[in-house]
Structure 1
């Protein structure tokens, strides 16, 4: 209904969404679909879900998704925690190798976005920066500059004392 008129692909690297989709099915998606006079089953059919187990598996899933996107209209691709599998796969390895593989995957996401006219939404995490002092931010973006260069818009959410959440454009 005046929306993107396309499918959504959800890449779940931490395998935390699947239990949530069951909850969303009964608690969120169905009531939202019904509120707008839509068929809940059709809405759920427009969500494609994948759980990669390695960074290489994630790359293969993205290549497969790119092929599907040329056949059917997709409007949104979500990669929920983009850095997770790279952190697992490259623990103790050379940082440069991890950054190169991450940059390659991000280039693929950019190519998918441009060729398929799909919005890509990536979540990431921040880590405590042991070098962060009183005057500097004690947090740093996981994946640092490699991820920062790939993003067009970056938003940071955080808890603030006395408030629910804080949104900061970065």
Structure 2
């Protein structure tokens, strides 16, 4: 656990550690606060915030059109969500990002490694090989720079994220992928009777993702499923009446939210639904052997 993690952890959770009394917890929290940079535990000016935000980087999607509506790509120190029906390119985007994250920043990458939490058995090293060849990377090295683990249930999914912090602390990682966020939560918690419990555990999971993104300066990217809801608000549902799974807990947690849908022919459409610095806009893309690409690159 890093100094910042200690500072961000609730005192009641630290009290659960064997040998920790209220007095000891108070001293540990005070020591952690002193070790953090000035302003990390209090108010700072907008000018100082601007300087801190220069540490963030943008991870290219592989499509110039898509990058344009995201101001360059998915941002670090934040959570990015893409949702849509099957075969719209969610997992293909995750594979593409996993290769681009290894490119130098001047080429739209992050210059680091990738961690992938697989909840649906969708990770394919063969796709990494194909996409790496497109970007001129050694396919074997590209796969070596990706660590992945298959989660069997939502509890294991959460445990993997907590265990991952030690490796992220090395500073070598630039992307964390969860594909997909809600698949296991939907299976493990069934019916309205378990909805409150599901949302509580989901909220804790998303809170951990937020802390990881900010503390380790990584792009946290997850895919999400959709469900039919003909009466849903246009804010959360597409024209076909589909809305992302997870309710308001997921909606509020995602910093940038993008809807993916099928277009004409083999084209797909990405639409920014919610973002603090990107207006609502659409981009057209295709899926090629080399991953996500622009239509004119077919």
Query: Shorter chain as normaliser: what TM range?
Result: 0.7 to 0.9
* 3-state SS in 2 of match to 1:158: strand
User: Could you tell me how far 1:5 is from its partner in structure 2?
Assistant: 1.8
Contact 2:128 2:139 in 1 (8 A): no
Tell me which of 117, 134, 139 is aligned to 1:32: 134
Structure 2: which 5+ runs fail to align?
A: 1-102, 274-298
| Partners of 2:269 and 2:189 in 1: CA distance | 32
Please say which structure displays the higher CA radius of gyration. Answer: 2
Contact 2:213 2:219 in 1 (8 A): yes
* 3-state SS in 2 of match to 1:5: coil
* 3-state SS in 2 of match to 1:154: strand
Tell me which of 207, 212, 226 is aligned to 1:126: 226
Length, aligned pairs only: 161
Structure 1: which 5+ runs fail to align?
A: none
| Partners of 2:257 and 2:270 in 1: CA distance | 10
Mark the CA change 1:23 to 1:140 in structure 2 (over 3 Å): closer, same or farther: closer
Deviations 1:3-52 (A, max 9, x none): 312110111110121xx213433x332x236x2xx443322211111110
| Partners of 2:127 and 2:268 in 1: CA distance | 23
Mark the CA change 1:132 to 1:150 in structure 2 (over 3 Å): closer, same or farther: closer
Q: Equivalent residue for 1:83?
A: 182
Mark the CA change 1:162 to 1:9 in structure 2 (over 3 Å): closer, same or farther: same
| Partners of 2:145 and 2:247 in 1: CA distance | 33
Deviations 1:98-141 (A, max 9, x none): 100101100011111111111100100111015459xx851121
Tell me which of 257, 261, 264 is aligned to 1:154: 257
| Partners of 1:144 and 1:32 in 2: CA distance | 37
TM-score (norm. length: structure 1): 0.85
Q: Equivalent residue for 1:99?
A: 199
**2:120 pairs with 1:21:** no
Deviations 1:32-89 (A, max 9, x none): 36x2xx4433222111111100111011110111111112411000111100110011
Q: Equivalent residue for 1:145?
A: 248
